[in-house]
Amino acid sequence: MSCLFCKIIAREIPSDIVFENDHALAFRDIHPAAPTHVLVIPKKHVHGIAEAEEGDVEALGQVLLAARAVAAREKLEGGFRLAINNGPDAGQTVFHLHVHVLGGRAMSWPPG
Ligand code: 5GP
Ligand code: ZN
């Protein structure tokens, strides 16, 4: 298995896990871009949002619900942003679908 995030799910690579259920795992980003920066991933390997299929609907929905749970646990009452990068123009570097949960500071719009 060569996927970095699959290795994190398998505990082959350590991470600071903040939420886990049967469908999703959430852990702190190693290079935080905000006071709270958590990555939420489906336990099922999905390459990226552009490759997601009908059969991934459950995994995609569970990731969003897990992101909601993370935002509540991290007490992001002031708001938070969910981001999915896809492809080189968006700066995707890891090819296991992940939702960034960013919060703890004001977010500018549009993003850079
Ligand atoms: P992308 O740029 O693909 O949307 O996001 C990948 C994210 O994964 C980056 O924010 C990067 O800091 C994070 N990341 C890369 N490798 C690791 C790692 O080994 N552990 C953790 N916790 N985060 C990682
Ligand atoms: Zn993977």
CATH assignment of the domain containing 26? 3.30.428.10
Q: What percent of the chain lies above the pLDDT cut of 90?
A: 98
Tell me, yes or no, whether 27 lies in a domain.
Answer: yes
Q: Residues with catalytic annotation? A: 98
Span 27-36, average pLDDT: 98
If one residue of 28, 49, 94 were mutated to test the ligand 1 pocket, choosing by the most ligand atoms within 8 A of its CB, it would be 94
Q: Could you say which ligand is closest to the alpha carbon of residue 45? A: 2
Q: How far apart are CA 88 and CA 51, in angstroms?
A: 15
Q: What percent of the chain lies above the pLDDT cut of 70?
A: 99
Count: domains in the chain: 1
Tell me, yes or no, whether 40 lies in a domain.
Answer: yes
Ligand 1 atom at shortest distance from the alpha carbon of 83: 4
pLDDT tens for 57-79 read 999 999 999 999 999 999 999 99
Tell me, yes or no, whether 49 lies in a domain.
Answer: no
Tell me, yes or no, whether 57 lies in a domain.
Answer: no
Ligand 1 atom at shortest distance from the alpha carbon of 27: 22
Q: How far apart are CA 40 and CA 46, in angstroms?
A: 12
pTM comes to 0.98
Tell me, yes or no, whether 112 lies in a domain.
Answer: no
Tell me, yes or no, whether 23 lies in a domain.
Answer: yes
Domain that holds residue 3: 1-44+65-76+89-105
